[in-house]
Structure 1
Amino acid sequence: MDLNHQINQLEADLLELGTLLEKSERKRVQELLKQEQKKVEKELIAKRQQKEQQTRSETDPSAASKAAYTVKITNYAWDQSEKFVKIYLTLKDVHKIPSENVEVTFTERSFSVLVKNLDGKNHQMTVLNLLYPIDEKDSYKKIKTDMLLVMCKKQTTKKWECLTKVEKQSKDKDKPSMDENADPSEGLMSVLKKIYAEGDDEMKRTINKAWTESQEKKLRGEDMMDF
C-alpha cells in the first residue's frame, strides 16, 4: 500500500470519526472516539511528513546526505481574533530560508510545523488536542522577519480560554473546588487564600488591609467582608 493510499484512508477515517463523534451521546463512547481520533491525527501527520520527505528525495537524491538533525520548538505565544487562533514562533532568520522549507500541516484538532535546514537544524513542533476544531483548509502560515505565524481558522466564532484541552484540564485542576453543601464563607476564604498565596506584595497588603477592616467592622456589629 503506497503512502498516498494510506494518507487517503487515514483522512477518510478521521472524517468518519468526526461524524460518529457528533452523533454519539454517551460520554464513554465520546471519550473512546476522541482517543481514536487523536491516534489517527498523529498517524496522519507522520504519513504526510513521510510523503514530503519521499518527494524531496525523489526530486533531489542528494537530500538525504544534507539532512540536519531535528530540534523541538517548545517556546511559543498565542493570541486570537474572532475568526483565527494565532500561534507565534520566534525563529531567527526564518525569513531568509526558502519558503518551501517551512511546512505546516493541519487537521481538525491539531497542527504540525517543520522548518527545515534553519541554522543547520530542522525545527519541529506538533500541537495535538486543540480545545476546539479548526478548519484545516482555511488555516495557513505567514513567514515574517525572524518569526513564523501559524493561523488556525476557527470552525466556530468563540473565544478560546486556552489553546489545548490539556491546558484546560490543568487550569481546571488549579481551580478551588466548590462543594454545594459547604459553607459559602469557607469557599470565599479558600479563594482569598489562593489569591493571597499567588499575589504580589501590593496584593497581599490590599487583602491584609481589607481583612483588618472587616474584623473591625465585625466587632462594631457591621457587615463582614463588604470590600
Structure 2
Amino acid sequence: MAMDLNADLEELRHLQSIAKRPRVVSLLSSEIHNLEKAQRAVEESNQVKATPIQTPLQISTARSSEISYTTVGSFSWDQENEKVKIYVSLEGVNQEQVVSNFQPWSFDVKFHDVQGKNYRCAVPKLNKAIVPEKCRLTVKPHRVIITLQKAEKGNWLDLYFKEDKLKPSLENKADPMAGIMDLMKNMYDEGDEDMKRTIAKAWSEARSGKKADPLKGYGSDL
C-alpha cells in the first residue's frame, strides 16, 4: 500500500507541475494533500508494528530478576472480619511500577523506581489462607494499602504463620513418650516456679530408674 501511495503521489505532483487551469491545479493540490495524510498514517502504523510495546507490568517483571530490592523495614496492619489491611509508608510510588503476586498463603509486592530505589514487601507464609484474586493494592500519595481477602471469616491472632508449640515433633513419632516429653518441656519453659519444680522432680525420678509417670507429680498438684 505504501508503494502505491508513493507512485500516485509522484504522478499527481507531475500533473500539478504541468497543469494550467486554476480549477485543475486546485483539485490536484487537494488530492495530493489527502494522499500525503494517508501516507503519514501508513508510516506511523508500520513504525508501531515494528516496535513492540511493553506494558509497565511487563517491563517491571523483566527487570525484577536483575535488580536488587530494599526490604520494607516496617509496616502496620489491622483487620476486619473478612479482610486484612497492610499499610506501607512509601512516598512517590507509581501504580504502573508496582508488581504484586498473591498466593493462597503468601504475598509479594515489589515497588520499582521509588525516588531512585526499589522496595519489596512480602510475607512468605501468612497466618491463614487468603483469596488471591480478591486481593488488591491502593496507592496513595504517602502510603500503599495492601488489602488481603480472608479465605475464611474470623480473627487472625497474627499476620505471620506460627507453628503450634504443643504439636509433637514429627521426628519423635517413633517414640511414644516423645510427644509427652516435648509437651512437658514447653510447660517447663513457660510455667511458674511451682510448675518447674514439679516437672523437674518427675524428670529426676524418670532418670533415677523409678520409671514413674512423668505427669503423675504434676497432676497431683492440680
Give the TM-score normalised by the residue count of structure 1: 0.46
Question: Over alpha carbons, which structure has the higher Rg?
Answer: 2
TM-score, normalised relative to structure 2: 0.46
| Greater share of residues in helix | 1
